[in-house]
Amino acid sequence: MGDGAAQLEGFITEATQGHAVEWVGDHLITLDQEIDRMWITKWSIPKVLFVLNRYLASPMLMCAGLETFDLIAAQLPLCDFYQLQSFCVFYLRWLTWTIWTQQTVVEAILLCRLWALFGFQRVSPSLTRLRSAGVIAVLVLTLIDYIGESVTIVDAQGLPGCYAASVPKIIAGYWITPVIIEFVMFIMTIIKTFRWISWGGGAPPTLILLALLLLANLFVFEFGPPFLSSLMITPSNTAGCIAGSRMLLNILGINYNDDLTYADTELEFVQGRTVVTTTGGITTFGSTAEPTSETLASSESTSKEPMLFPILEHSDPEPVDITPNPAGRFEV
């Protein structure tokens, strides 16, 4: 490896450490929002995904690269634990759980996104369960197979570290199964995207940035030098973890925005007559009912109820028979 390649490899190490600092900084500046919005909500699938992404997948990404352990070892020169066989075994087992957790969370988030785009009823629940069972089965088999692999230590100057002695036979199934399923999801998302563009909607800048990072990761891995294959992995994963946490926090924050005004699509008649008056061909609607203390208290308690995802239920009002009287006044 030449001097230029060594410098690039050092740049990758520094970039990995920089993105770790970036993730910690984002966690600190959004911790108050998490406490105010997320901790008080009931446990649900989105909240579980938030906790896994925030407190399991993200810390794993910080420790997934050997650069992090090398940084710690540099502060403890007497403890070259990263060269010990026991540490290498622990590291590869930890890396296996990292891959397993990351893939599981990503697939679950993709499924929730598909539900949001097409509705739960259009995405067959039985098909969803079958897909989830297939992906999880492959992940579990890969996890078991990787744990059974022997570990070797490579002291080469170019790519030192801990490696598995061989590749599990089921590794192809681990990648092929999610790729097939994600390809179907990709096609469905593209169809919905073209419809969204035809309606005049634009793509958020955050999603454009994530798409560019993923494409850059693909092309660098396929066409770049071997020692640069992991250049864009850490930026892509870091951006995805931060975007996932911010997305859930922002959705939950809708309930705490005082500037928003909610309108119910259901007409409700309570404690009084709703009067329709026609004057000169102009029809106006009014009500003789005054708001009571019970009504106001119920409305206030309902509006402040914390929910992870606000759900608006739409129902059509029943037909009302409006009969005019001789004075030209309509009463319901």
The pLDDT assigned to 118 comes to 73
pLDDT above 50 (res 273): no
Spatial distance between the Cα atoms of 117 and 111, rounded to a whole number of angstroms: 10
State the distance between the two ends of the chain, measured CA to CA, in whole angstroms. 86
The pLDDT assigned to 88 comes to 76
DSSP class of 323: E
Find the mean pLDDT for residues 194-217: 76
Considering the segment(s) 3-256 as one domain, its CATH architecture is Up-down Bundle (1.20)
The pLDDT assigned to 120 comes to 61
pLDDT above 60 (res 256): no
Burial of 23 (0-12, 13-18, 19+ CB in 10 A): buried
Find the mean pLDDT for residues 292-321: 45
Q: What is the pLDDT of residues 150-163, one digit of tens each?
A: 777 766 555 556 77
Residue 154, SS3 per DSSP:
strand
- Token reading at 277: 């008056």
Please state whether beta strands 323-324 and 329-331 pair in parallel, antiparallel, or not at all (unpaired). Answer: antiparallel
Q: How many CB atoms lie within 10 A of CB 100?
A: 17
The pLDDT assigned to 64 comes to 54
pLDDT above 60 (res 198): yes
Q: Which residue has the tokens 């309570």?
A: 270
The pLDDT assigned to 257 comes to 52
pLDDT above 70 (res 2): no
State which of 114-128, 206-220, 293-307 shows the largest mean pLDDT: 206-220
Instruction: Name which of 4-18, 112-126, 253-267, 274-288 the model is least confident about.
Output: 274-288
Q: State what percent of residues in the chain have pLDDT above 90.
A: 0
Find the mean pLDDT for residues 218-239: 75
Domain assignments of the chain as residue spans, ordered by start: 3-256, 274-331
Instruction: Name which of 6-10, 23-27, 258-262 the model is least confident about.
Output: 258-262
- Token reading at 302: 């309902």
Q: State what percent of residues in the chain have pLDDT above 70.
A: 49
Q: Which residue has the tokens 């396929």?
A: 222
Q: What is the pLDDT of residues 170-184, one digit of tens each?
A: 666 666 766 777 777
Q: How many CA atoms lie within 13 A of 130 on its CB side?
A: 6
* CB distance 308 to 47 below 8 Å: yes
More confident of the two residues 291 and 32: 32
Q: What is the pLDDT of residues 238-252, one digit of tens each?
A: 787 888 888 888 877
